[in-house]
Structure 1
Amino acid sequence: MIDYQAARLSMVDYQIARRGITELAVLEAMAAVPREEFVPKALRDRAYDDTALPIDNDQTISQPYIVALMTWAAELKGGHKVLEIGTGSGYAAAVMAKLAGHVITIERIASLAETARMRLQRLGYANIDVMSGDGSAGCEAEAPFDAILSAAGTRTVPPAWKEQLAIGGRLIMPLGPFGDQQLVKIVRTGKTDYTQKTLVAVRFVPLVGGTR
């Protein structure tokens, strides 16, 4: 039988901390969330592999390092309100919920949203709200957000995401055409002012919705 706790701690050490993400709060969040609960049962023995894994509806659960990198870049603190685009299995939302006060996550595939909602409720994540819908429009009713993180890539930044950031808020997203994406960090520094920094090359599914 696999010792998932040992596998999780090894993942945090070898895949995350030794790659330069050393912020204690992020490492503790990654160590606390049982990734094996978010992958298909047939793949649980690979839950802590250094790779993305398939889930239902031809979607994936991101590589642990990428989840940690995006969470670290978002600079999440207690009391922060976070918007996630692309719930998938709910794993990244669970990690973020360990750090932020409230996570709203939007999934366009209704069956995935419902499965993630039930899973997160079963695991006791009371500060996550799962919504089904078009994430390209963000969630205006709950804006502004201290951080927005997207698990889907676009060639251009959806205007709604930038507009729904609080001043000082961080947007972490894959940007560029499929196959040539860069994970970027965009910070809103004023009413109409933003800065942008490239973090790492990535490969995410394209955003499906009103903005591509």
Structure 2
Amino acid sequence: MYRAGHLLLRPLTQLLWRPTVVGAEHVPMSGGVILASNHFSFIDSFVIPLTAPRKVRFLAKDAYWQGRGPLALARRGFMDAMGAIPVDRQSSRAAQDSLDAALEVLRAGDAFGIYPEGTRSRDGRLYRGRTGVAWLALTAGVPVVPVSLSGTAQVMPIGATRPRVAPVTVRFGPPIDVARRWAGVPQGRARREVTDEVMDAIAALSGQERAAAYNDLPADAHGPAIGT
């Protein structure tokens, strides 16, 4: 399903968004890896898998797999084709369930996409990262590839119901290998410093203004904020 979806969607992506992809060679082609990106738009979770050189899986709210009728069936097929993982956002264990699902992907040797800010930036700034990305990297012992997206806010701004035609740029940075360097360091300190290192790398790629605060998770967010 994933491969068939890509064969159908990649040409459409090239036509509508004309993506410029920089640094794809930095993404390891085998083994577990985290792709940690800034976040502007609902379509970010489709742009990255459609431009990355290997399969990348993201979390998505389980409501996308619910419903009946042709539209619901098409929506489920689309999410499956993109390799999305359903998560119940209403569960009291949503954050931990999300981490567990991501860890399963990484331990299977696959690539997992995450937004350390937790939710989409509404003002264009890059917010403080939540430490779920570091917990995953340290627990699974996998590298983190920083990713910068630009243009996706113009393709599908927050509140829009249909994507627009606009150019998109995706930049992949060199992988950050954190597991060895932080072995033996107290977990709380390691998670915070690894997260800050990842956010610094994303900022260097994106050139965004930094925000010292966390980005609040709105009620209409498309996935749980992983980590605290």
TM-score normalised to structure 2 length: 0.41
Whose strand proportion is higher, 1 or 2? Answer: 1
TM-score normalised to structure 1 length: 0.43
RCO greater where, 1 or 2, for CA within 8 Å and sep 6 or more?
Answer: 2
